[in-house]
Structure 1
Amino acid sequence: MEIKTVLYIILAAIVALGIAVFQYIYKQKAKSNIHLLLAFLRFVGIFGLLLLLVNPKFLRKSYTLEKPNLVILADNSTSITENASDLELFVSELKNAEQVTDIFDIASYKFGATLDVFDSLSFADKNTNINKSLTSLKEIYAREQTIIILLSDGNQTIGEDYSYFKTDQNNTIYAVVLGDTTKYKDISVGPILTNKYAFLKNKFPLETYVSYQGNTAISANLSVKMNDKIVYTQNLNLDSESNFKTIALDVDANTVGIKNLVVEVTKLPNERNVQNNKRSTSIEVIDEKTKIALISDILHPDLGALKKAIESNKQREVQILKSNTANSILDDIDLFVLYQPTSQFKKTIDFVKNKNANSFIVTGLQTDYSFLNDADLGFEIENGYPEQEVFGVLNNGFPKYDISKFDLTDFPPLASDAGPVTFNVTQETLLGTRIKGLDIQQPLLAVTEKNNSKQAILLGENLWKWRMQTFRNTNDFNNFDEFIGKLVRYLTSAKSKSRLNVDYQKVYDGNGNAVITATYFDEAFLFDQNAKVSIRITNTSTDQVKNIPMVLKNGYFEADLSNLIAGSYAFVVSVKNDSKSESGNFVISEFDMENQFVSSDNEKMEKLVQNNGGKLFYPSQINEVLKVLSENNAYVPTEKSTENIVSLIDFKLLLGLIILAFAAEWFIRKYNGLI
């Protein structure tokens, strides 16, 4: 206590004593024992109040007995199912052993892909991440003496290699190996690597591997099936030295739809685990070939150049048609390229306008500009100009997509008799126009957008010369073809602005989480978090229907479908009190990583405990575990002292003494008739 505080206490005692003496002794002529008692009580009360004002601080020591932590970490994955009784019995005996409960504070956790509190075991987790669970416990019990007992088969399916995990210096890890550690003869198929999507009439790659565990030479047959039809077979010869075979092939995508792929290897004699002899996945074959109509009533080399450039992407198909082509043929067209239109194109242009379709208009020396101006296409071209040579000027500020790689070096001029063009809709210029070395600030190639349709207009012919010059410059046609390809991709892309949008995958791995998300906007296109969004799931094989409300997350709604069994499903996402809905289909492939292991991995668990000062046990060694825990002198409760600085005002006894002194003084005065 500081000297200043001591002086204040002495001063408080003097003041309190002075007040008491002045009131009960100094002024009283006849002094009695009652006056002395009252003076004492007044002194105690006033001195106590003054002490509270001074508020001296005292050092208080407290002692606690701290036990080390014993953490039981139990594997809750499906691979433990056969050894569930051993695990539960071991945990029960450990928790009920008095020699353990007297020494340790026991906490229990379970884990699969993540760590969770041990309330009950379901053995339903489809992934195991031992390293993540140990890391989480290391953070929870930082700077505390902790003993971890890991109960697992040691087979980890995701995460970093746990055998290299290192805990804190004051912690120890013991492990109990569950399951059979015997090494059996086994052949297994590895993960299937392929695309999620394939295009119709194309080939898609498929790659996997076959591994063998055993000492003798074996022969097995591998087959690849697509929708139960064998598309590939191979005979495999493996032994202890050559125990790995990579399988790589290209599969034909001949029909549209979701295709189930199964890679299977035949069973070995007396093979114990045959669940890892087969792997499956799915791929969706889609027909995304863009159909483009190149409409012209004249023969011109530009037609061939445009067709070659557009079809350089195999997902595009160009048909060269006449202007009098029937509308029934035009119904399936995604983009209309109108080459040098005349009045004969009236029916075709009316069809394009009524369909609100995207178009690319190329004008030239045989174009009827008066007809185009009367067609109300969003622009007007002055006519009556003579034929002239026009050069393209790249607009590096074009905002719709990147055209910076297009090289116009040494490109010859195009032929044009078009005058200045005026747009009555928003337009963006790709290429400007240069005539006789002068940039005339007029577009040569421009794009417009109106009523959700896109249009491009090129005011010049002889594009074939540009394609030929590209070949002269680079020995290929890529420069020109990519420029036209980007323009076509822009014109064929559509931006849908829907109030209800659903995001999902066509194929979900059976070992992962199947999640479908949705966003819903009100009429002002603001996210509506108060909407009631639900999803209706139908198993297409069994017709079983399940209705699930979608949960609001951070800016979207989500449905977790990870509990669904493998199979094909159709779904409909709908909003309460709104007619809007979105539907789709997906497949959950049949695969459980936890069932791919033949035996327990006691070698990795042995390495883990050696790195962390522990020991490896088996379920039958419960008594050895109890002995190690109870007889190790390092695992004993520790007495800890804590020093706290406490203010005098925290002492309730002093407050009670002050109240008692003033109350007793008042009562004695009244009892004796003193004023």
Structure 2
Amino acid sequence: MQLQTVLFILLAAIMALTVVLFQYYYKSKRKGKLQVILSFLRFLAIFGTLLLLINPKFTKNEYTLQKTNLVLLADNSSSLALEGKAQAISHFSFLKDKVESLSDNFNIFTYKFGGELSNSDTLGLTEKSTNISKALAGLNEIFTGTTTAVILLSDGNQTIGEDYEFYGKRQKLPIYPVVLGDTTKYDDLAISQINTNRYAFLKNKFPLEVFISYDGKEEVSPELKVFMDDNLVYKEKVALSNVSNTKIINTQIEASTVGIKNIKVTLSPLPNEKNSANNEKLMALEVLDEKTNVAIISNVQHPDIGALKKSIESNEQRLVSIYRPDADLSKLQEVDVYILYQPDATFAKVYQQIQLRNSNSFTVLGTNTDFNFLNNIQNSFLVESGYPVQELFASPNAAFSKFDISDFSLQDFPPLLSDAGPVTILGRGEPLLKIRIKGVDMDQPLLSTVEEDASKHAILVGENIWKWRVQNYRNDQAFVEFDAFLGKLILYLTTSKGKNRFVLDYSSIYNNSNETKIKATYFDEAFVFDANASINIKVVNKSTNTSLEFPMLLKDGYYEADLSHLTPATYDFIATVTKENLSRSGSFSVLDFDAEKQFSSSNYGKLNRLANNTTGKLYFPDQMDSLVTALETDTKFVPVQKSKQIVVPLIDFKFLLGIIVAALSLEWFIRKYNGLT
């Protein structure tokens, strides 16, 4: 407390005492205890009031020691186990013990990572993927705004995610890599990638593209072989050298039988090649015995036509052909779905063929559509005409039940153009999307399905759907969401009539390192999603005939079975809704591919560049003592003592005010009680 404040308090006491002496004792003839009590109460009231005005305070300093955070980040992927699991764990334990000696200067944290970052101080070296950049990004988020150093124990081989060398240029924390694994460079052949379609059609040839790389000095000529279901279907000698160290092999393989085909591509190993695991790669594709033929019929040239063709053909099971309405009708005999783009009177013969064949159709309206002709030629819907051209925004119909559209987002989608009026659905219709005009939701369909006794139809009330596909790319850098949405619509139009209440979503091919999951959507008889259903799935290994059965778990709007624990093989499965005995079946293959086995040595060069980009330094296991010493002596990581000054009022304002009120009240009561004025 300052001396000035102390003097003010003493002065306040003297002033209060002076006032009391003047009021109660100066020229006063009264004596006794009553006079003393009254004068004391008056002194308390006056002195308390003066203390409130002075408001005395005192300050105190609190000191804290702020340490640097030191993160021990360990690679838990199986690639480290290839060089000796015990040795890698031993290096980790040794460094962890060494780092503990720095606890006086550092707050020590231990994390491990594979595909994801986790807080743990034990290693199992069982992760099937490595994502170093994601682990570093997670640490940046956890320790943002603090002084932190990271010791990274890894072989530097990353299998998924952003290249950590480039991510290091944006890295905020200094990285000190410790290189684990073999640092010796060996001659090595590798099949780095295989590209092919996911589907092929029976009796057709499908393309196969193989990328080969070579790390060595001598000229070599390994033999490339391609097997399909263990049958040799292609082979070729490949010439490689230290100058020409990459090759791309392109070939065509015939799909002779239906089903899932396992494809194995191999390279004959070098005489002294240490890692031959990357000389072989497996993949699979499904051979189909039929495909969906879609015909787009139009009299006008419009970007929508190209967008529809590209989107529908993104699924290799579908083939799209473009015709004018005056085309020879014999060419349309094998069509499964007719897309009628802005029909007019020239479409009369096409509509007659659709009605004769009870075919399914998808009608797209626009500013060139003849609405009078359209209303007269078919009985599925009526369109009012005579409206001006206007912009129609889309609003999803959450109650749509024909198929799942929950994954389709309309965020930032541009409007469609149309001069059509309200559309009246005459059959059993259900809108997928509704119209929104100038921010107002209209109870009118923008995209709707219609079911008749023997056919299905869809109608889109507007042109420029190509802009939706472009917007999907702007949002996600891919067309996947839009193409999947349109693909579901085409699939709905090509399947047999009737509503499907139990729908499965799965892939026919899974990599062993990927998440193998099967999703299911189930609706009750009112076609409302049933969140209380009991769905079981039975999976049978076709090679061993062993089976597993377990329930599918409820997620956000769907059911899911996580099958990522399955070993590589081909499986059949059947999913059953127990209370209705409703079931769906299928098959899939899990490939035997381990990305962690593709490396023959550690990538210390990339780790060194990461260290340089983050003002860190690279170390090897025999230099751990030097690493600990460098961290201990680095001035950047010296603990910082911080002080905080706290100002505390000497007297509680409310408490003192209460004393003043009590003293004055008690003095008044005593005076009145004793008849004093």
Determine if contact 2:196/2:208 at 8 Å carries over to the other structure. yes
| 1:66 aligned residue | 66
Distance 2:24 2:84 in 1: 87
Determine if contact 1:187/1:213 at 8 Å carries over to the other structure. yes
| 2:204 aligned residue | 202
Q: Against the structure 1 CA distance between its residues 407 and 602, is the aligned structure 2 distance closer, same or farther, given a 3 Å change threshold?
A: same
Q: Against the structure 1 CA distance between its residues 51 and 496, is the aligned structure 2 distance closer, same or farther, given a 3 Å change threshold?
A: farther
* Residue from 492, 500, 503 that aligns with 1:501: 503
Distance 1:102 1:340 in 2: 84
Distance 1:190 1:169 in 2: 28
Greater displacement, 542-551 / 63-72: 542-551
Distance 2:580 2:12 in 1: 79
| 2:93 aligned residue | 92
* Residue from 236, 239, 242 that aligns with 2:241: 239
Q: Write the deviation string for residues 123-149 of structure 1: whole angstroms up to 9, x where unpaired.
A: 222221111211221222222111100
Give the Å deviation of 1:114.
Answer: 2.1
Distance 1:649 1:532 in 2: 68
Distance 2:107 2:16 in 1: 53
Distance 1:576 1:23 in 2: 97
* Residue from 130, 140, 143 that aligns with 1:128: 130
Distance 2:75 2:264 in 1: 30
For 2:69, the aligned partner's letter is N
Q: Write the deviation string for residues 418-450 of structure 1: whole angstroms up to 9, x where unpaired.
A: xx9989953579xxxxxxxxxxxxxxxx99965
Give the Å deviation of 1:182.
Answer: 0.6
Give the Å deviation of 1:156.
Answer: 1.0
Distance 1:196 1:561 in 2: 20
For 2:524, the aligned partner's letter is D
Give the Å deviation of 1:609.
Answer: 0.8
Give the Å deviation of 1:60.
Answer: 5.4
Distance 1:571 1:78 in 2: 30
Equivalent position SS for 1:192: strand
Distance 1:498 1:490 in 2: 9
Q: Against the structure 1 CA distance between its residues 533 and 405, is the aligned structure 2 distance closer, same or farther, given a 3 Å change threshold?
A: same
**1:144 maps to 2:106:** no
| 1:596 aligned residue | 598
For 1:361, the aligned partner's letter is L
Give the Å deviation of 1:282.
Answer: 0.6
Give the Å deviation of 1:576.
Answer: 4.3
Give the Å deviation of 1:274.
Answer: 1.0
Give the Å deviation of 1:23.
Answer: 12
Q: Against the structure 1 CA distance between its residues 216 and 16, is the aligned structure 2 distance closer, same or farther, given a 3 Å change threshold?
A: farther
| 2:362 aligned residue | 400
Q: Against the structure 1 CA distance between its residues 399 and 589, is the aligned structure 2 distance closer, same or farther, given a 3 Å change threshold?
A: closer
Q: Against the structure 1 CA distance between its residues 310 and 47, is the aligned structure 2 distance closer, same or farther, given a 3 Å change threshold?
A: farther
Give the Å deviation of 1:598.
Answer: 0.8
| 2:255 aligned residue | 253
| 2:472 aligned residue | none
Q: Against the structure 1 CA distance between its residues 617 and 421, is the aligned structure 2 distance closer, same or farther, given a 3 Å change threshold?
A: closer
| 1:75 aligned residue | 75
Determine if contact 1:198/1:283 at 8 Å carries over to the other structure. yes
For 1:537, the aligned partner's letter is V
Distance 2:87 2:657 in 1: 63
| Equivalences, count | 521
| 2:356 aligned residue | 361
| 2:555 aligned residue | 553
For 2:93, the aligned partner's letter is S
| 2:329 aligned residue | 306
Greater displacement, 527-536 / 577-586: 527-536
Give the Å deviation of 1:69.
Answer: 0.5
Determine if contact 1:44/1:658 at 8 Å carries over to the other structure. no
Give the Å deviation of 1:543.
Answer: 2.5
For 2:283, the aligned partner's letter is T
Matches within 5 A, 1:321-340: none
| 1:279 aligned residue | 281
Q: Against the structure 1 CA distance between its residues 656 and 222, is the aligned structure 2 distance closer, same or farther, given a 3 Å change threshold?
A: farther
Give the Å deviation of 1:74.
Answer: 0.6
Q: Against the structure 1 CA distance between its residues 180 and 489, is the aligned structure 2 distance closer, same or farther, given a 3 Å change threshold?
A: closer
| 2:380 aligned residue | 426
| 1:215 aligned residue | 217
Q: Could you tell me which runs of 5 or more consecutive residues in structure 1 were left unpaired when the two chains were aligned.
A: 293-301, 317-337, 342-357, 363-376, 378-397, 409-419, 430-445, 457-487, 667-673
Distance 2:172 2:32 in 1: 72
| 1:323 aligned residue | none
Give the Å deviation of 1:291.
Answer: 10
Equivalent position SS for 1:513: coil
Distance 2:79 2:164 in 1: 17
Distance 1:583 1:22 in 2: 105
Give the Å deviation of 1:533.
Answer: 3.2
Which protein shows a greater Rg? 1
Q: Against the structure 1 CA distance between its residues 641 and 493, is the aligned structure 2 distance closer, same or farther, given a 3 Å change threshold?
A: same
Equivalent position SS for 1:453: coil
For 2:362, the aligned partner's letter is K
**1:453 maps to 2:407:** no
**1:521 maps to 2:534:** no
Q: Write the deviation string for residues 236-282 of structure 1: whole angstroms up to 9, x where unpaired.
A: 22121122111111111111100001101112112111111100111
Question: Once the two structures are aligned, what percentage of the paired residues are identical?
Answer: 43
Q: Write the deviation string for residues 377-419 of structure 1: whole angstroms up to 9, x where unpaired.
A: 9xxxxxxxxxxxxxxxxxxxx99334879999xxxxxxxxxxx
Equivalent position SS for 2:636: coil
Greater displacement, 226-235 / 516-525: 516-525
Q: TM-score, normalised by structure 1?
A: 0.65
Distance 1:39 1:161 in 2: 85
Give the Å deviation of 1:162.
Answer: 1.5
Equivalent position SS for 1:240: coil
**1:536 maps to 2:538:** yes
Distance 1:566 1:517 in 2: 20
Determine if contact 1:175/1:617 at 8 Å carries over to the other structure. yes
Equivalent position SS for 1:238: coil
Determine if contact 1:94/1:100 at 8 Å carries over to the other structure. no
For 2:89, the aligned partner's letter is E
Equivalent position SS for 1:401: strand
Greater displacement, 635-644 / 167-176: 167-176
| 2:402 aligned residue | none
Q: Could you tell me which runs of 5 or more consecutive residues in structure 2 were left unpaired when the two chains were aligned.
A: 295-324, 338-348, 384-425, 429-449, 458-489, 667-673
| 1:327 aligned residue | none
Distance 1:522 1:46 in 2: 82
Determine if contact 1:95/1:106 at 8 Å carries over to the other structure. no
Distance 1:49 1:530 in 2: 71
Give the Å deviation of 1:626.
Answer: 1.6
Give the Å deviation of 1:226.
Answer: 0.6
Matches within 5 A, 1:362-401: 400-401=362-363
Give the Å deviation of 1:612.
Answer: 1.6
For 2:73, the aligned partner's letter is L
Distance 1:232 1:650 in 2: 92
Equivalent position SS for 2:237: strand
Equivalent position SS for 2:174: strand
Distance 1:564 1:51 in 2: 79
Matches within 5 A, 1:661-672: none
**1:607 maps to 2:609:** yes
Give the Å deviation of 1:611.
Answer: 1.6
Distance 1:29 1:609 in 2: 91
